[in-house]
Structure 1
Amino acid sequence: MAFLGTLCLILILTTLAGNLSNRLGVPAVIGELLVGIVLGPALLNWVQLNSLVSLFADIGVVILMFLGGLESNLQLLMKYLRPAIVVATSGVIFPVALMGLTSWWWGFTPLESLFIGVIFSATSVSISVAVLKEYHALTTREGATILGAAVADDIIGVILLSLMISLLASQGIQMAGSQPALALVLMEQVVFFVGTYALVKWIAPYLMHLSERLVVPSSVTIMSMVICLGMAWIADIVGLSGAIGAFFAGIAVAHTPYRAVLADHVEPLGNAIFIPVFFVSVGLNMTLDHLVENLGIIVILTVLACVTKLIGCGLGARLSGFSNLSSTVIGTGMIARGEMGLITAQIGHEAGLLGGSDYSAMILVIILATVLAPLLLKQALKHMPTGRPEQAV
């Protein structure tokens, strides 16, 4: 029952912090992230990232991405699929190359440096989705490209992580647990996307229509959550982020007559409990262990974490025909890091590639980049024209 008090404290402080952030003209997610930093091990240490907080956070990111899919335009996503792939690819190359070289120059071994580059290659678009929703930019061409690039980025991240695990094994470094072959992982993901097409085309419309005929309160909302959680679970099984599965579940349900009803029902559920806990959990990951001795590399890598995605993804967008302003929006929308980076860092720590102080530094850089991302995205969005569903700037 102690968790109820923790949850109550989180909800009170995130509500106040979100209100203050909005009054100051700052994205509300910034206030919620800072609540996690203040409450967590970095400062007061009142709240720890235990299993219950992690569970609520996992549900929060799933609901957030489901809502993102619910508000997305599938035709727009398909229209900008090619530039999204270009953006994702260039946005992976730049961090791996520049952050890897910088780490090597700082004194890390070549293998450690490559691993650090891979840590910061993946984007966590969940926080960008919250900012895009707040500024009504999810259905713009920039928003569609960011969302499409996030899907491609997740797949590339899984490939890179699998390759790194294979490389570690070739160096005699054995990982705990068995790792599936890369070919098998890719085949499973192909099956996942084929199933996603079937879900959008046939399965979701049938299930949603069936749910309306059930004599159960909120049956339509319940069925939508079954689809959402089920897709998140399957995506996790095939090596993708559960957030990606939830995003496609939102797209599938959005192509049924129940879209407006679900937005009214699911969004209050997410914003009332689970989504604030997700943002707080990001801040709870931060610790200040070995901060002074690693301050130099933390500052350098934090700057590079932002710059490499901004330039890499922005260049990909520019090569795809976007204007400088649109390219900046797309670049800033891809800066945030998240679960894939944390997982990769943890693997490096378990393999002995990243010692305790280096591991803490990498986690801190991930958190700092994630905190800076919505601020930079908000500044870029301020210059975007409003009032059109598909911006061409």
Structure 2
Amino acid sequence: MASPSPELLFFALGALLLLTVLAGNLSSRFGLPALIGFLALGMVAGSDGPGGIAFENYGAAQAVGVACLVFILFSGGLDTDWSMVRGVIRPAFVLATVGVAISAAVVSVAAVLLLDFTPLQGFLLGAVIASTDAAAVFAIMRSHGLPLDNRACGLIELESGSNDPMAIFLVGAGILLITAPAAGVSGLVPSFFVQMGVGAAVGWAVGMGLPALLRHVRLQVGSLALVVSVGAALLGYGLAGIAGGNGFLAAYIAGIVAGNQDFPGKRSISLFQDGAAWLAQVVMFLTLGLLVFPAQLPAVAGPGLAITAVLMLIARPLSVFVSLAPFRDFHWREKLFISWAGLRGAVPIVLATFPIVAGIQGAQTIFNIVFFVVVVSSVIQGPTIGLAARLLGITGALPAPGRDGAQSPG
């Protein structure tokens, strides 16, 4: 069979991208997150759908997902106002670490009790699905016009951009326990803190370096600043990985540090990176949608609904209330909103490819369940975040509770 010509491949790729954007726009008109449209078109174009595109390369999909997440996180950091999130650094860090671990533990127990998973399979499923997704959170918060100067919204954004290291650590620990039980995970604990520290340091350095470079180097063509910004995002991720840090955290912090400084071409770079982030979302969700076989999803509908309910109604709220317990200035209404706004998206699906690439038994079932959970939770939570914000009073600043439990004025 002759290989398709480059012209045909480019035509198909261009048509897919345009159709994906239209599908995302159509889903948004019905109040659904755009990612639903992106994923749906990927499934339609896949081998189980009319498109008939045979794509089962989980390694390639994983690489595409990682590359796309780098630009999504970098762009999200550029758009994050440091003055709005500075006051929630500590609670965001606790929620991005302890909160992820609590969510993973609750889902793990539920998988063992409800799905008859082995403890290690349950742990792996919990680890994969535990973290919130930056792409989904950034898109939903902005599409609903939620006030990012509200500390609850700022906390949600900061948490979603910084909780990937904990999720990756847990997934890596789960895979190690399954593939090499004698190795143990004690050595991974210090590695986690090294990844966080190195990732943050590299991100800060790149974030400081980008504005300094653009201020001191006179570019003959102004548009080259856009190329420099792409290089900064890739440099942050790559350098952190080489140094033993977490590249996702580095890319996000680099965006935050750079975005809160003044430098030539800042507005153009911000607009360009916003477009790049949307393109990354389209490509990532389309690729992940191609991996899914719709015919396999009915078999995991029951388990998927069970895990979705546990995640939305037990795991996420418990992780939020426990993690934020030391921070008494957070009102219970803010905690409820933060619980409901813990959106899942591409990150869990990308992480679900890791067990498949590692050859873990039952990994395909875990992938299908994770995909089902992401779709169902997005359909339920995404359209209702604005309503939840209004009902809980998150559209304005909430007064801090007084010592006696009543709200203090001002």
TM-score range relative to shorter protein: 0.7 to 0.9
Question: Aligned ranges for residues 356-371 of structure 1 at < 5 Å?
Answer: 356-357=364-365, 359-370=367-378
Tell me how far apart the structure 2 counterparts of residues 299 and 16 of structure 1 sit (CA, whole Å).
Answer: 28
Structure-to-structure mapping, 1:267-286, within 5 angstroms? 267-271=274-278, 273-286=279-292
* 2:109 alignment counterpart: 101
1:264 aligns with 2:271: yes
The CA distance in 2 between the partners of 1:153 and 1:114, in whole Å, is 17
Change (3 A) 1:374 1:313: farther
SS in 2 for 1:214: coil
CA distance in 2, matches of 1:86, 1:62: 23
SS in 1 for 2:330: coil
State the Cα distance separating 1:297 from its structure 2 match: 1.5
Which residue in the other structure is 1:163 paired with?
173
1:342–1:363: 8 Å Cα contact kept in structure 2? no
- Secondary structure at the counterpart of residue 163 of structure 2: helix
Instruction: Structure 1: state its 5+ residue gaps.
Output: 175-179
The residue number in structure 2 matching 1:131 is 140
Report the CA distance between 1:289 and its aligned residue: 4.9
Cα shift at 1:357: 4.2
User: Residue 220 and residue 136 in structure 1: after superposition, are their counterparts in 2 closer, same or farther (change >3 A)?
Assistant: farther
The answer as to whether partners of 1:103 and 1:113 remain within 8 angstroms in 2 is: yes
Equivalent-residue separation in structure 2 for 1:237 and 1:312 (angstroms): 36
Post-superposition offset of 1:118? 2.0
1:145 matched to 2:155? The reply is yes
Does the alignment pair 1:113 with 2:122? yes
Structure 2 equivalent of residue 248 of structure 1: 253
- Shift of the 316–184 alpha-carbon distance from structure 1 to 2, 3 Å rule, reads closer
* Mapped contact 1:282–1:367 kept (Cα < 8 A): no
Residue number in structure 2 paired with 1:206: 212
Residues 238 and 368 (structure 1), Cα distance of their counterparts in 2 relative to 1, 3 Å cut: farther
SS at match of 1:43: coil
312-321 or 77-86: bigger deviation: 312-321
Query: 2:234 matched to 1:229?
Result: yes
Moved more, 190-199 or 365-374: 365-374
Amino acid at match of 2:30: L
In structure 2, relative to structure 1, the CA distance for the partners of 1:337 and 1:103 (3 Å cut) is: same
Shift of 1:206: 1.4
Aligned equivalents of 1:114, 1:251: Cα separation in 2: 32
Distance 1:72 1:384, change over 3 A: farther
Are 2:96 and 1:88 equivalent residues in the alignment? yes
1:177 matched to which residue of 2? none
- Name the structure 2 match of 1:193: 200
> Which is further off, 235-244 or 302-311?
235-244
Contact 2:111–2:122 (8 Å) recurs in 1:
yes
In structure 2, the CA distance between the partners of 1:168 and 1:103, relative to structure 1 (3 Å rule), is: same
Tell whether the 8 Å contact from 2:162 to 2:249 is kept in structure 1 after alignment.
Answer: no
Per the alignment, residue 73 of structure 1 pairs with 81
The whole-number CA distance in structure 1 between the counterparts of 2:276 and 2:389 is 27
Residues 309, 334 of structure 1: 8 Å contact kept: no
The 8 Å contact of residues 166 and 192 in structure 2, kept in 1 or not, is answered as no
Query: What's the offset of the Cα at 1:205?
Result: 2.6
- 2 CA distance for matches of 1:238 and 1:288? 40
- Taking a change above 3 Å as real, the CA distance of residues 56 and 256 of structure 1, as seen in their structure-2 partners, is farther
2:408 corresponding residue in structure 1: none
Cα distance, 1:224 vs structure 2: 1.7
Alpha-carbon separation, structure 2, partners of 1:326 and 1:230: 36
The sequence identity of aligned pairs, in percent, is 21
Letter in 1 for 2:155: T
The verdict on how the C-alpha distance between 1:3 and 1:129 changes in structure 2, with shifts beyond 3 A counting, is: farther
Change (3 A) 1:291 1:60: closer
1:14 corresponds to 2:14: no
Contact 2:85 2:158 in 1 (8 A): yes
Distance 1:333 1:241 in 2: 25
Aligned-pair CA distance for 1:117: 2.1
Q: Which moved more, 1:122-131 or 1:359-368?
A: 359-368
Structure 2 Cα separation of the partners of residues 227 and 298 of structure 1: 39
The one-letter code of the counterpart of 1:248 is I
Q: 2:131 is paired with a residue of what secondary structure?
A: coil
- Residue by residue over 1:58-83, the C-alpha shift from the partner in whole angstroms, topping out at 9 and shown as x without a partner, is 55433332221111122333310122
Q: Does structure 2 retain, via aligned residues, the 8 Å contact 1:349–1:359?
A: no
Tell me by how many angstroms 1:128 deviates: 1.1
2:71 corresponds to:
63
C-alpha distance in 1 between matches for 2:98 and 2:198:
26
Match of 1:392, SS?
A: coil
Q: Deviations over 1:96-129 (max 9, x none)?
A: 3332222222322222222222222222222111
Aligned to 2:343: 335
8 A Cα contact 1:90 1:312, kept in partner: no
Alpha-carbon distance in structure 2 between the residues aligned to 1:155 and 1:26: 28
Question: How far apart are residue 336 of structure 1 and its match?
Answer: 0.4
Distance 1:224 1:166, change over 3 A: same
Q: Counterpart of 1:20 in structure 2: which amino acid?
A: L
Alpha-carbon separation, structure 1, partners of 2:367 and 2:28: 34
Q: Which runs of 5+ in 2 are unaligned?
A: 1-5, 400-410
CA contact (8 A) 2:175 2:360 kept: no
- Alpha-carbon distance between aligned partners in 1 of 2:284 and 2:95, rounded to the nearest angstrom: 27
Q: Select the residue among 22, 37, 40 that pairs with 2:46.
A: 40
Cα contact 1:285–1:367 (8 A) shared by 2: no
**What CA distance in whole angstroms lies between the structure 1 residues aligned with 2:190 and 2:172?**
10
Deviates more, 1:56-65 or 1:76-85: 56-65
Distance 1:25 1:366, change over 3 A: closer
Alpha-carbon distance change, 365 to 266 in structure 1, aligned in 2, over 3 angstroms: closer
Secondary structure of 2:126's partner? Answer: helix
Note if contact 1:231-1:245 (Cα within 8 Å) is conserved in structure 2: yes
Give the drift of 1:384: 7.1
